[in-house]
Amino acid sequence: MPYWFTERHTPTRGLTFQVEKNLYQEKSPYQILDIVETQDFGLMMLLDGIIMVTEKDEFVYHEMLSHPALFTHSNPQKVLIIGGGDGGTLKQVLLHPSVEKAVLVEIDEMVVNASKRFFPKLATAFEHPKAEVRIEDGIAYLKRSENEFDIILIDSTDPVGPAEGLFHKEFYADCYKALKQNGILTIQSESPWIPDLQPIIRQANQDLKSLFPLVIPYTAAIQTYQAGLWLFQMASKKHHPLNEIDSSKHTGFNFRYYNPELHKGCFALPQFIKELLA
């Protein structure tokens, strides 16, 4: 029987949609996972009741978390993804011919297994010969790594529950240490429209600025995430996204959101975000 579900973005607002069918529910030591079928977004994965991935608009988040950093770096060979157990970011990363190895470190095997079953188009990435999938705590993994990666992408859930430690300055410092001298870190950085998230966004920006010479935030329009507008923050040791783009590298991709013009345009921030991060 179809029913209405509302993901609340504050106690008094949210995104409402009709669920046609509950397909699957499982509980891990970390979180509760639901797979539901919807009219508007196709299959949807929720973690603790928050939309993570939908068939119809996953491309926005996954393209925009990965491509800006990978096209900014002159030769990204080794990439680390923390979180991202659905495989969507890994899939985009592996489209880059320069990438020789992509390591995905997901704490919760349940997410990987559910993606294999319900999002096979994303989960094909797990079988790619250049992919290494590790089920372990990304924070612990990073502590052991030094001068190893060209790109690190933080593909985390919101800063409550298992992902909370991925929003700490100590974690960003470990990312810095694990990056090579020209390395780039990109984090998903929540919705700038939601008042309670604004201090978290600002803190992340300040923490990253204290560690990296270049911190460049950018936005993407993600209709199934809070308020439809999402922030990312790129923290770079050397490369600047607006200086170093080589558009000849864009051929052979089948972009649906990202493109060379947007690579520049996405860094033009609305004034209220500039002021939030000033």
- Give the catalytic positions in this structure: 155
Query: What is the residue whose two structure tokens read 């030591």?
Result: 29
Is 256 a binding residue for a copy of itself by CB under 8 A? The answer is: yes
Q: Which of 33, 1, 31 is nearest to 19 (CA)?
A: 1
Residues 6+ apart with CB under 8 A from 125: 87, 88, 90, 91, 94, 131
Name the minimum Å distance from CB 216 to a copy of itself: 12
Q: Alpha-carbon distance 208 to 53, whole Å?
A: 27
Member of 181, 243, 251, 271 binding a copy of itself (CB under 8 A): 271
Name the minimum Å distance from CB 57 to a copy of itself: 8
Q: Alpha-carbon distance 141 to 155, whole Å?
A: 15
When the beta carbons of 219 and 236 are compared against a copy of itself, the nearer one is 219
Is 257 a binding residue for a copy of itself by CB under 8 A? The answer is: yes
Member of 3, 21, 26, 39 binding a copy of itself (CB under 8 A): 39
Is 193 a binding residue for a copy of itself by CB under 8 A? The answer is: yes
Q: Alpha-carbon distance 106 to 130, whole Å?
A: 17
Q: Alpha-carbon distance 210 to 103, whole Å?
A: 26
User: Which residues on adjacent β-strands are paired with residue 214?
Assistant: 236
Q: Is 63 exposed, middle or buried (0-12, 13-18, 19+ CB in 10 A)?
A: buried
Member of 139, 214, 229, 245 binding a copy of itself (CB under 8 A): 229
When the beta carbons of 82 and 231 are compared against a copy of itself, the nearer one is 231
Name the minimum Å distance from CB 50 to a copy of itself: 15
DSSP string across 85-105: TTSHHHHHHTTSTT--EEEEE
Is 66 a binding residue for a copy of itself by CB under 8 A? The answer is: no
Name the minimum Å distance from CB 262 to a copy of itself: 5
When the beta carbons of 88 and 138 are compared against a copy of itself, the nearer one is 88
What residues from 100 to 129 belong to the interface with a copy of itself (CB under 8 A)? none
Count of helices and strands (H, E) across the chain: 9, 12
Is 199 a binding residue for a copy of itself by CB under 8 A? The answer is: no
Residues that bind a copy of itself (CB under 8 A): 6, 10-18, 38-41, 57, 60, 193, 219, 221, 223, 227-229, 255-259, 261-262, 264-272, 274
